[in-house]
């Protein structure tokens, strides 16, 4: 939709008045605040962009705009942007896969959130249901009892398979089943593939692992020893490291079982491949994206208010429905109702899709599993052990 098309004459009058007011205020505020005035700088990993359309936010936030900048999702990329790249001054809000508050807070990179400034916060039932204090999900938005992130996306990962080649599958055991030797792919990521393997080993009583989400060095060594053994037997075809690579592996039927993300299955299906995203009995690898307010003492009160307005907007129905539709993830509890109630913005088919995706992810969270841990206690050991697996 053209952002100008939804403007009415009244909007123009309002914007005209607002502009006059802003011009007066402009002269009164300090130079640094003026420089950022009117734009919320929003760093995102490629999931939080509602197709470039921020017009409803601009309308709701008295003319403030959003400048979206894409950043990488790897913890190092995020920390490099914020620490070495001066990102706390460049960005007001960062929207990333949560769970790495420890390095972000310990290095003074993000602010605790004041939920009284977020009217939509109390409406989002996902927070109380899955991300509340004292639950593992809280680690995706909070740290040491303080809240830092607004949940923007929730998802549960498992693996995909081609039923015509494998038959029905309902366990991570399929990834290590000799029947599929040479036709299995894993993600090149110790916090996903490594953790799913740990979940499988724990449930199958093949290893003593207390918490697959935060393993001790000994537990991790057990997991990697198992993976090395599987690798040497020729179980895996490849380990993938990009969205396109994983989609190609499924679409070209290069592998029959693949540890991957659900949107890859959506893409494969859209290309005519009958791929199924598994519902494993061991549960899912659960994760959430969170939007954080960066710590910038020089940010003006107006800019902070606008950043809060953006966080609140991201908890709203329109944004949630748009992201669910575009990316295939559950967002907030307003999203399905909003899409259904606004056929002018979300045609019936789209609203049904939003409701179906939300219900499916909600079911996954209800079933449970293990929460992904983006920054485990022994993260260096994870990296070293994963390097050992790859080099073996």
Partner 1 sequence: MLRRLLARWAFPALPIGFAVVFVVLPLALTIAVSFWTRVGLVVRPAFTFTSYEAFFAGARLLVFERSFLASIEATVLGLLLAYPIAYFLAFKVSPRAARTVLLLFTVPFLVNYIIRAFAWTWLLGRTGLINTLLMASGLTNEPLDWLLYSDVAVLIGLVTSYMPFMIFPLWLSLSGIDRRLIQASWMLGAPPARTFLRVTLPLSLPGVFAAAIFAFVGCFGESAIPVIMGGVGYQMMGNSIASAMDVLNYPLAAAISTVVLGAMMSLLLVWYLAFDARAFLGMIVRPGK
Q: Which chain residues interact with partner 1 by CB under 8 A?
A: 74-76, 79-80, 83, 103, 106-107, 182, 186, 188, 231, 236-239, 241, 244-245, 248, 252-254, 379-380, 382-384, 386-392
Of residues 129 and 188, the one with the C-beta less far from partner 1: 188
Q: How far is the CB of 184 from partner 1 (least distance, A)?
A: 10
Cα–Cα distances (Å) from 33 to 90, 300, 305, in that order, read 12, 5, 12
Nearest approach, Cβ of 282 to partner 1 (angstroms)?
23
Q: How far apart are CA 230 and CA 330, in angstroms?
A: 34
Is residue 282 within 8 A of residue 16, CB to CB? The reply is: no
Nearer to partner 1 by Cβ, of 81 and 154: the residue is 81
The separation between CA 261 and the C-alpha centre of its own chain, rounded to angstroms, equals: 11
Least gap, CB of 83 to partner 1 (angstroms) = 7
CB burial string 339-367: b at 16+ within 10 A, e below = bbeeeebbeeebbebbbebbebbbebbee
Query: Cβ neighbours of residue 322 under 8 Å, at least 6 residues apart?
Result: 50, 51, 53
C-beta of 100 vs 127, nearer to partner 1: 100
CB 149 within 8 A of CB 141: yes
Return the residue matching tokens 């991201």: 314
Compute the half-sphere exposure of residue 183: CA atoms within 13 Å on the CB side of its CA.
Answer: 17
- Report the nearest approach of partner 1 to the CB of residue 106 (Å): 7
Q: How far is the CB of 262 from partner 1 (least distance, A)?
A: 22
Closer residue to partner 1 in complex, CB, 210/380: 380
Pairwise CA distance, residues 380 & 140, whole Å? 20
Q: Least CB distance from residue 64 to partner 1, whole Å?
A: 32
What would the two tokens of residue 302 be?
């107006």
Of the pair 186, 335, the CB lying nearest partner 1 is at 186
Handedness of CA 102, 107, 109, 113 (dihedral sign): positive
Q: Which is nearer to partner 1, 264 or 339 (CB)?
A: 264
Closest separation in Å from C-beta 201 to partner 1: 19
- CB of 356 or CB of 392, closer to partner 1: 392
Nearer to partner 1, 7 or 375 (CB): 375
Longest dimension (CA), the chain: 73
Q: What is the DSSP letter of 245?
A: H
Coil/strand/helix, residue 155: strand
Which tokens is 147 given?
């809240």
Question: Given the complex with partner 1, which of 253 and 340 has the nearer CB atom?
Answer: 253
Smallest gap from Cβ 256 to partner 1, in A, equals 11
CB of 243 to partner 1, least distance (A): 12
Decide: 215 and 378 in contact? Cβ < 8 Å: yes
**DSSP per-residue string spanning 27-66:** HHS-HHHHHHTTEEEEEE-SSS--TT--HHHHHHTTT-EE
């Amino acid at each position: 939709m053209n952002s100008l098309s939804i403007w009415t004459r009244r909007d123009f009058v309002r914007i005209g008045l607002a502009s006059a007011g802003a011009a007066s205020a402009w002269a009164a505020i300090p130079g640094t605040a003026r420089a950022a005035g009117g734009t919320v700088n929003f760093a995102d990993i490629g999931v939080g962009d509602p197709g470039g359309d921020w017009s409803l936010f601009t309308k709701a936030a008295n003319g403030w705009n959003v400048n979206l900048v894409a950043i990488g999702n790897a913890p190092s990329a995020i920390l490099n942007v914020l620490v070495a790249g001066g990102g706390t001054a460049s960005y007001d809000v960062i929207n990333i896969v949560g769970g790495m508050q420890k390095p972000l807070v310990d290095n003074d990179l993000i602010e605790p959130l004041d939920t009284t400034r977020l009217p939509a916060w109390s409406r989002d039932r996902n927070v109380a249901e899955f991300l509340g204090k004292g639950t593992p999900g809280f680690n995706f938005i909070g740290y040491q009892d303080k809240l830092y992130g607004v949940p923007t996306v929730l998802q549960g990962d498992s693996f995909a398979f081609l039923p015509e080649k494998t038959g029905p599958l309902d366990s991570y055991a399929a990834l290590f089943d000799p029947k599929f030797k040479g036709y299995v792919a894993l993600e090149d990521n110790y916090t996903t593939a490594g953790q799913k393997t740990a979940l499988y080993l724990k449930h199958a009583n093949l290893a003593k692992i207390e918490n697959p989400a935060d393993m001790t060095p000994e537990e991790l060594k057990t997991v990697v020893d198992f993976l090395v053994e599987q690798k040497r037997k020729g179980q895996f075809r490849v380990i993938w490291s990009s969205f396109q690579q994983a989609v190609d592996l499924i679409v070209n039927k290069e592998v029959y079982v693949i540890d991957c993300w659900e949107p890859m299955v959506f893409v494969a299906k859209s290309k005519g491949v009958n791929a199924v995203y598994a519902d494993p009995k061991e549960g899912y690898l659960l994760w959430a994206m969170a939007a954080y307010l960066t710590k910038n003492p020089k940010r003006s009160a107006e800019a902070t208010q606008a950043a809060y307005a953006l966080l609140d907007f991201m908890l709203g129905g329109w944004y949630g429905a748009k992201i669910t539709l575009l990316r295939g993830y559950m967002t907030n509890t307003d999203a399905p109702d909003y899409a259904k109630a606004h056929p002018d913005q979300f045609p019936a088919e789209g609203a049904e899709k939003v409701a179906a995706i939300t219900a499916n992810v909600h079911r996954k969270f209800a079933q449970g599993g293990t929460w992904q841990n983006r920054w485990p206690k022994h993260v260096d050991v994870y990296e070293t052990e994963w390097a050992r697996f790859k080099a073996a």
